[in-house]
Amino acid sequence: MRFADTSIRLGPFEIAPATLLAPMAAISLPPFRAACLAQRCGLATTEMVAAKHLTVRRAWRKKKPFERAAGERVLHVQIFGNSAEVLAEGARAAADFGADALDVNLGCPARKVVGSGSGAALGRDTATAVAAVAAVVAAVPVPVTAKIRAGWDDDSINAVETARALADAGAAWITLHPRTRTQMFGGRADWSLLARVVAAVPIPVIGNGDIRGHADAERMVRQTGCAGVMVGRATMGRPWLFRALAEGTDEEPPVPERLAIFRDYVAAYTAWAGPSRAIKELRKHLLWLVRGVRGAAAFRVAAQKASTPEDVATLLERARDALVEGED
C-alpha cells in the first residue's frame, strides 16, 4: 500500500498521508518536524511540553519547541502535566499561542515525569486519565487527542478500557504505543492489543511502536486496522522515511540525496537554534545519519570533532565520495 492514498480527520483538518512523526523529547523540534513534513509526513507532533511551563510566558525560551515549523499546516502540541487543572490551563495557553490541535501525554515512562504524577502515572488509572482529557477538551476549542500505553504493567493492561472512555470524553483520536510503563522501550510492542483497541472504539486509532520502515507500517495496518501510523525511533537521522511510506517502498534514497537533505536540515537547525546550540545538538543526528552506511567510521570521528555548522557542511560535502550504501 501507498500511504499517499490514506488520510485521517482531525476536527476541521484532513491529515494526509495518515502518517505521523512521534513526539520525541529533544528531537521533534521545529527543524526536524519541518524536515519530516517536507518528506511527506502527514502530521508531526511536537515533543512533550510541560503544561505548567506553557502557562508561564516569561519562562518560555526564545526558541520554543512548540512554535510552528516551516511548512507546518497543523500545529499539534503535546502537553503533559499531573492534574486535570494544570493540563486544562496549559491547553488554554497552547491554544492561545496558536496550537491547532493538542495531544495529552498519558504514557511517558520516564522516572522524573512519572514521579511527579504525569505521563504514564496519569494513564495508570482510567478514571484519572479520562478526567484529564475531559478537562482539556472542555478548556479549548481545538481538537484534542491522547497518547496512551498498554497499561502500567502486565497485570494492569487497561488500554481498551481507557481508549473507550477517552472516546466518550471527546478525544478526536487515540494513539496507542502498546508497551507497558514497566517495559519502558524494551521487549516488543504488542500489536494484537492495538487490534483490540481499534475494534473497541468508535474513533480513529493511530498505531505506534516498532515500525522500522514501510513493510512494518503496512503490516501494522493490515494486522490491526489502525487508521494511521506513528513512527519514532526509526526516523532519527532519516526524515525521508515518510516519503518511503507515502510511496510504498522500503528503499532509502541514494547517499548523495540523503546528504543533501541533511545539509538543508543542518542549515535550518542552525538558523533556528543559533550556531553554538546547533552544533551541540546536531552531533547525534549526524551519527544517526550514517547508521548502516559503509565507510562511516571516519565520518563519525569527524562528526565528533566538528565545532561549527560550517565544519558540518564541509563534512557532509566530503562524505559524498566516502560513504557507500549498504551495511559495513
User: What are the residues binding ligand FMN (CB under 6 A)?
Assistant: 22-25, 27, 47-48, 78, 105, 107-108, 147, 177, 208-211, 231-234
Q: Which is nearer to ligand FMN, 144 or 315 (CB)?
A: 144
Least distance between ligand FMN and beta carbon 257 (Å): 23
Q: For every residue of 264-324, which 3-state class applies, written as one string?
A: HHHHHHHHHHCHHHHHHHHHHHHHHHCCCCECHHHHHHHHHHCCCHHHHHHHHHHHHHHCE
- Please, what's the b/e burial string for 292-313 (b: 16 or more CB within 10 A of its CB; e: otherwise)? ebebbeebeebbeebeebeebb
Q: How far is the CB of 324 from ligand FMN (least distance, A)?
A: 27
Which one, 6 or 145, has the nearer CB to ligand FMN? 145
Closest approach of Cβ 264 to ligand FMN, in Å?
23
108 is catalytic: yes
Per the CB < 8 A criterion, the answer to whether 244 and 258 are in contact is no
Q: Of these residues, 36, 41, 108, 226, which one is catalytic?
A: 108
Least spacing, CB of residue 210 vs ligand FMN, in Å = 5
> How crowded is residue 71: how many other Cβ atoms within 10 Å of its Cβ?
12
Q: Provide the residue type at 46 as one letter.
A: T
Q: What are the backbone dihedrals phi and psi of residue 48, each rounded to the nearest 5 degrees, phi first? A: -70, 140
Q: Which is nearer to ligand FMN, 280 or 320 (CB)?
A: 280
**Closer CB to ligand FMN, 124 or 147, in the complex:** 147
Q: Give whichever of 128 and 259 is closer to ligand FMN, judged by the CB atom.
A: 128
d(CA 87, CA 294): 47
User: Which residue in the shown chain puts its C-beta closest to ligand FMN?
Assistant: 232
* The three grid cell numbers given for residue 135, joined into one nine-digit string: 478537562
CB of 117 to ligand FMN, least distance (A): 16
Q: For residues 111 and 118, what is the distance between their CA atoms, to the nearest angstrom?
A: 10
With respect to ligand FMN, which residue has the nearer C-beta, 6 or 208?
208
Please give the biggest Cα pair distance in the chain. 57
> Looking at residue 119, what DSSP letter applies?
T
- The contacts of residue 313 (CB under 8 Å, 6+ apart) are 263, 266, 267
Exposed/middle/buried for 60, CB within 10 Å: 0-12, 13-18, 19+?
middle
Shortest Å, Cβ 313 to ligand FMN: 26
The residues that are catalytic are 108
